[in-house]
Amino acid sequence: MSSTQALLAPSLPSQLINLLAAVMLLIAFAMLAQRRVLTLINLFAVQGLILTASTLLVAWTTSQPHLYWSALITLVLKVLVLPLILHRLIRKLNVKWDVETLIKIPTTMIVGIVLVILSFNLALPISALSGTVARGTLGIAIAIVLLAFLMMITRSKAVPQVIGFLAMENGLFFAATSATYGMPMVVELGIALDVLIGMVILGVFFFQIRERFDSLDIRHLEKLKED
């Protein structure tokens, strides 16, 4: 008991980061279970907000000024711009249907839990290697990436898949900031740009897909293969 307390006691910020990490994980699970596109986008925005908060926290505790910029980019891009684009997109595409899942939700959830355990054990050697990396947060970051991947696998509609892609990036970013206290600014800017451009390209894709198949169900793409 005392050992647990001693470990946790260090500082309020690290406790807060743990809390935020836990909430990120929760949101990742919520996205996995969510059927509606609209809620999915909102969840994504909330995840971005948490990410911003955790980045700010890391910036403040480690006093690395460039992380403030990262936080700002995250806020603008992931909380405001991308959700707005997505909202507009689903309004324009008129996709108000429920997200259908390929695998049943309970099964997905169990797979998700297995993934969480897996990623924590994957994070174990990495954190042992570096020493500065918090094992728990890195594990959660990996878990968020894998869960987002899982979400992309289980969805059959294009918009949720894109959200899965974006959530995956969130996980990577969280790994970069909270677990390892930031990466070089150039890399971050590059990633941010990638995401934005990727989003624009996918947006164009959506319209193309819909024009071609009258639906956003990506299972239609299966027809494209040669027989």
The footprint of another protein (CB under 8 A) covers 1, 3-5, 7-9, 12, 15-16, 18-19, 21-23, 25-26, 29, 33, 104-106, 109, 113, 116-117, 120-121, 124, 135-137, 139-140
The b/e string for 72-85 (b: 16+ C-beta within 10 A; e otherwise) is ebbbebbbeebbeb
As measured in angstroms, the least distance from the Cβ of 148 to another protein is: 16
Nearer to another protein, 19 or 200 (CB): 19
C-beta of 20: minimal distance to another protein in Å? 9
Q: Are 40 and 95 in contact (CB under 8 A)?
A: no
| Residue 77, both tokens | 């891009």
C-beta closer to another protein: residue 113 or 221: 113
Q: Which of 12, 5, 11, 24 is closest to 174 using CA atoms? A: 24
CA nearest 150: which of 134, 139, 165? 165
Q: Whole-number minimum distance, CB 23 to another protein, in Å?
A: 7
State which residue, 19 or 189, has the beta carbon closest to another protein.
19
Smallest separation (angstroms) from another protein to the CB of 106: 6
By C-beta, is 61 or 215 nearer to another protein? 61
* For another protein, the closer CB: 84 or 109: 109
Q: Which is nearer to another protein, 109 or 201 (CB)?
A: 109
CA distance 141 to 170: 9
Secondary structure string (H, E, C) spanning 166-226:
HHHHHHHHHHHHHHCCCCCHHHHHHHHHHHHHHHHHHHHHHHHHHHHHCCCEHHHHHHHCC
**Are the beta carbons of 154 and 102 closer than 8 angstroms?**
yes
Copy the structure tokens of residue 186.
């150039």
Q: How far is the CB of 123 from another protein (least distance, A)?
A: 9
Minimal distance, residue 11 CB to another protein, in Å: 11
Distance CA 183, CA 195 (A): 17
